[in-house]
């Protein structure tokens, strides 16, 4: 056991001895740290980082605040002061801002000193890979951010990106067959061009890839519409129709869709494994030569 943790346990057993009474209920009156086994009313980030030597996001996903402590915090923060009409939380925020805004003899505010201390700490902590604190935070933030974006459908997971790009290339190739027809009478152009319209896939390409929908369905004329460029960008990967509506309007059934998607996915995987650049025409050539088209 590390010395910091041993000293903490000694202090905690003395300070919070009441938490070890037989009538105390876990979850209601205290929470248990799965690392040290100690009973606490709240497991704080400082305890995790300074006592346990862990990053807060590495800590097990357990309840960190007991019910009694949470209720006390809520009641205290929302209690209104008669003189000011402000809650304790609001008073605390005002006092903190005033304190941090105050200048010292060197003309530095509390905000500036906090910034200096934070920068010094992050710049001074170099890990075995030569990364300072900022570099480590950035690496985790990028990974977490990309995972969040992937879950929201804004981007795809890393392992899917090459397959998705090849799928999208084929969909756009099929879409282009309808370009002359669907853009007739519209001004087209890049985003930002005044009065410009874009071709939009009513059921989005990304959702089509996720739901394993044949690229022939997503690139079908019935799935295309024209939208002003700004509206198309704001739409992102959201869908204007449901999957059932999509199949109904394109005349596809589930079985035909499944077979086409599986064949295309097989060819996409073969190309990726062999390092063949995305080529929609080459994919279509093999698709039309497959058994389904004979």
Q: What is the pLDDT of residues 6-28, one digit of tens each?
A: 999 999 999 989 999 999 999 99
Does residue 269 share a domain with residue 164? yes
In a domain, 204, yes or no: yes
Which of 56, 90, 116 is the C-terminal boundary of a domain? 116
Rounded to whole angstroms, how far apart are CA atoms 264 and 69?
A: 57
pLDDT at 198: 95
Output the furthest CA–CA distance in the chain (Å, rounded).
86
In a domain, 141, yes or no: no
In a domain, 244, yes or no: yes
Q: What is the pLDDT of residues 238-271, one digit of tens each?
A: 999 999 999 999 999 999 999 999 999 999 998 8
Rounded to whole angstroms, how far apart are CA atoms 209 and 31?
A: 44
Does residue 111 share a domain with residue 216? no
Rounded to whole angstroms, how far apart are CA atoms 110 and 290?
A: 71
Which of 66, 101, 116 is the C-terminal boundary of a domain? 116
Q: What is the pLDDT of residues 81-138, one digit of tens each?
A: 778 777 777 788 888 888 888 988 888 898 888 888 888 887 887 877 677 877 777 7
* Domain boundaries, position 261: 158-293
Q: What is the pLDDT of residues 35-92, one digit of tens each?
A: 899 999 999 988 888 888 888 877 888 899 999 888 887 777 677 777 877 777 778 8
Does residue 87 share a domain with residue 174? no
Does residue 97 share a domain with residue 193? no
**Domain count of the fold of the chain:** 2
For CA atoms 186, 225, 179, 269, the dihedral sign is positive
pLDDT at 147: 65
Which is more confident, 137 or 2?
2
Rounded to whole angstroms, how far apart are CA atoms 134 and 292?
A: 54
Other beta carbons within 10 Å of 274: 7
Other beta carbons within 10 Å of 240: 15
- What predicted TM-score, i.e. pTM, was given to this entire model? 0.50
Q: What is the mean pLDDT of residues 211-217?
A: 96
Which of 116, 146, 173 is the C-terminal boundary of a domain? 116
Residue 19 vs residues 9, 14, 29: alpha-carbon distances, Å = 13, 10, 7
For the cut 80, the answer to whether the pLDDT of residue 4 exceeds it is yes
Does residue 106 share a domain with residue 166? no
In a domain, 142, yes or no: no
Does residue 111 share a domain with residue 162? no
Highest mean pLDDT, choosing among 88-102, 161-175, 212-226: 212-226
For the cut 70, the answer to whether the pLDDT of residue 233 exceeds it is yes
Does residue 102 share a domain with residue 18? yes
């Amino acid at each position: 056991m590390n010395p910091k943790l041993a000293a903490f346990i000694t202090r905690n057993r003395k300070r919070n001895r009441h938490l070890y009474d037989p009538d105390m209920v876990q979850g209601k009156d205290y929470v248990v740290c799965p690392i040290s086994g100690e009973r606490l009313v709240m497991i704080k980030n400082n305890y995790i980082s300074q006592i346990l030597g862990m990053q807060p996001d590495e800590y097990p996903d357990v309840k960190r605040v007991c019910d009694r402590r949470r209720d006390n915090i809520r009641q205290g923060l929302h209690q209104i002061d008669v003189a000011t009409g402000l809650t304790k939380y609001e008073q605390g925020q005002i006092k903190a801002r005033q304190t941090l805004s105050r200048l010292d003899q060197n003309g530095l505010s509390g905000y500036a000193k906090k910034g200096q201390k934070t920068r010094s700490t992050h710049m001074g902590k170099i890990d075995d890979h030569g990364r300072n604190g900022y570099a480590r935070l950035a690496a985790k933030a990028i990974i977490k951010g990309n995972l969040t974006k992937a879950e929201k459908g804004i981007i795809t997971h890393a392992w899917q990106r090459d397959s998705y790009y090849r799928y999208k290339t084929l969909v756009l190739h099929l879409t282009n067959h309808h370009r002359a027809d669907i853009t007739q009478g519209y001004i087209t152009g890049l985003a930002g061009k005044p009065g410009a319209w874009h071709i939009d896939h009513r059921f989005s390409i990304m959702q089509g890839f996720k739901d394993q929908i044949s690229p022939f369905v997503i690139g079908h004329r019935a799935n295309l519409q024209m939208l002003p460029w700004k509206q198309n960008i704001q739409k992102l990967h959201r869908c204007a129709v449901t999957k059932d509506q999509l199949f109904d309007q394109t005349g596809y059934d589930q079985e035909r869709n499944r077979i086409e998607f599986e064949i295309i996915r097989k060819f996409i995987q073969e190309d990726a494994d062999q390092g063949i650049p995305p080529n929609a025409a080459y994919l279509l050539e093999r698709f039309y030569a497959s058994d389904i088209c004979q």
